[in-house]
Structure 1
Amino acid sequence: MTNNSRSVSILLVDDDEINNFISIKLIKKALVSSEIKACLNGKFAIDELKKLKEAPSPGLPDYILLDINMPLMNGWEFLDEYKRLDIDPEGKSKIYIISSSVFSNDINRAKSYRPLVKDFISKPLNIEKIRELFEAEKLA
């Protein structure tokens, strides 16, 4: 997968700066051609996506990796606002919930957001999970 001809753009939405640092390192190791931007909560991410939507290029990210539990605007509120604002009418961005939650109600709630949310991935991220995610996407 390291032989991608174009760069993959990723928006990481998580309030844990240490976790973001580690996730970015792992993603860059798994996907050499990747542009990653981190936002510390859903509100900042919505603001960033509104700017990217208006930009001529490169536009919206290919992937949004979204935590659930964050201050200011959590992952569920982010998804509701994302849909309400119709940020991505063509469905360019693939959204994955990345959470340390093991509660079945969170996993089921994530499924209720399909097809907007592609899958629920448990933290911590590791190289194998990242490769699986992007390999599965490549085959889809």
Structure 2
Amino acid sequence: MSVLKKACIIDDDRLYVSLMSMIVDKYDLVDELVLFENGDQALKFFELVLKNKIEAPQVVLLDLNMPIMNGWELLDVLEDHTAALQEKGIHLLVVSSSINQNEIAKAKKHALVSDFITKPLSKTHLLEIFNKISS
């Protein structure tokens, strides 16, 4: 039995996404893993979540630097729906290669962001995150 029902990765780095997907599959961490390459694709998904058309993910791993719509832009659009998304039990974690302290502080202050994690995200850390959220 999986640790979580649904998780979402929003990241344009195909190698990173592939690695995270393999870890999720190998350790049976989620029943359903939803993947998006940019914030625009993810926004359409969250619009359906907010309309209760699809089940909300329990965890979202969001990269900041992506084409089309980056993570900051997605957070800005979703900010108006913070209460509704939190009510659905979504834990949004920013996962970025940025070591800029201002970006880290800005992300951690955002109402939707549960935590900021610096890439690369290790297997051990991913397992800890999913297990913590499931308990």
Structure 2 length normalisation: TM-score? 0.86
Indicate the residue corresponding to 1:68 in structure 2: 64
Matched, 1:52 2:77: no
8 Å CA contact retained: 2:9, 2:62: yes
Select 2:25's aligned residue among 6, 28, 40. Answer: 28
8 Å CA contact retained: 2:60, 2:92: yes
Q: 1:95 to 1:52 in 2, by over 3 A?
A: same
Matched, 1:137 2:128: no
Question: 1:44-81 deviations in whole A, cap 9, x for unaligned?
Answer: 1011111233344x521111110000111111111111
**1:33, 1:123 → 2: CA distance?**
21
Indicate the residue corresponding to 1:16 in structure 2: 13
Question: 1:85-129 deviations in whole A, cap 9, x for unaligned?
Answer: 556261421100011111111111111114x21111111122101
State the AA in 2 paired with 1:27.
V
**2:30, 2:94 → 1: CA distance?**
22
- DSSP-derived class of the 1:60 partner: coil
Matched, 1:112 2:109: yes
Q: 1:137 to 1:89 in 2, by over 3 A?
A: closer
Identity among equivalent positions (%) equals 30
After superposition, the CA RMSD in angstroms is 2.1
Runs of 4+ residues deviating >6 angstroms: none
Q: 1:28 to 1:133 in 2, by over 3 A?
A: same
**1:70, 1:19 → 2: CA distance?**
13
- DSSP-derived class of the 2:61 partner: strand
Structure 2: stretches of 5+ with no match in the other structure: none
Select 1:43's aligned residue among 26, 40, 50. Answer: 40
Structure 1: stretches of 5+ with no match in the other structure: none
Name the count of aligned residue pairs: 134
Question: 1:19-47 deviations in whole A, cap 9, x for unaligned?
Answer: 11111111222344431111000111011
